[in-house]
């Protein structure tokens, strides 16, 4: 992860988590909406800024845990590697997509409560020496 841009996002899950297989590994994809709130000191009133959308991908065990744990509207905190890609959308306009490859994902406990269930360790897979001895 040398010279990778690492960021932490705080926001809400914007839709259903989609779990699929890619290259033999599970990957979960979902979107996160981050809307900044600012206090206008002159009026002492809060106002929302423009919502920023991020595409998130999580791999392997984290992907499966995200699919089992996250739902639309959940408040989350995500830490991972930031990547930006451009593409041409259906209207022919070049669009910037900001993507995050998640390293860690959790519910934002400033916004609610959560219950943790420890994942069970996977069955040990014998190595070549153990398989030959069996």
The CA distance from 21 to 114, in Å, is 28
Residue 131 in any domain: the answer is no
The CATH number of residue 56's host domain is: 2.40.50.140
Confidence band of 100 (pLDDT split at 50, 70, 90): very high
130 located within any domain: no
pTM recorded for the entire structure: 0.81
Q: Per the domain annotation, does 64 fall within a domain? A: yes
Tell me: the pLDDT tens digits for 9-49? Answer: 999 999 999 999 999 999 999 999 999 999 999 999 999 99
Alpha carbon separation from 87 to 5, 19, 54, 73, 93 (Å, rounded): 21, 23, 15, 27, 8
Instruction: Indicate if the pLDDT at residue 63 is higher than 60.
Output: yes
Classify residue 50: in a domain, yes or no.
Answer: yes
- Is the pLDDT at 102 greater than 80? The verdict is yes
- Examine residue 1 and state whether it is found in any structural domain, yes or no: no
Helix H segments across 42-120? 60-69
Q: What total of structural domains would you count in the chain?
A: 1
Report how far residue 110's alpha carbon sits from residue 128's, in angstroms, rounded to the nearest whole number: 48
In a domain, 119, yes or no: no
Q: Which two structure tokens, joined as six digits, stand for 48?
A: 């929302």
- Average predicted confidence (pLDDT) for the chain: 90
For 22, other C-beta atoms within 10 Å of its C-beta total 11
């Amino acid at each position: 992860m040398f010279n990778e841009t690492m960021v932490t996002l705080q926001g809400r899950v914007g839709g259903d988590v989609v779990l699929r297989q890619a290259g033999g590994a599970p990957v979960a994809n979902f979107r996160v909406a981050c809307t900044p709130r600012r206090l206008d000191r002159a009026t002492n009133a809060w106002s929302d800024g423009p919502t920023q959308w991020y595409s998130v991908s999580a791999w392997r065990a984290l992907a499966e845990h995200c699919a089992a744990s996250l739902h639309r509207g959940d408040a989350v905190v995500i830490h991972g590697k930031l990547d930006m890609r451009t593409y041409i959308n259906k209207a022919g306009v070049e669009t910037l997509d900001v993507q995050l490859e998640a390293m860690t994902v959790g519910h934002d406990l400033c916004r609610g409560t959560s219950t943790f269930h420890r994942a069970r360790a996977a069955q040990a897979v014998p190595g070549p020496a153990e398989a030959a001895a069996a």
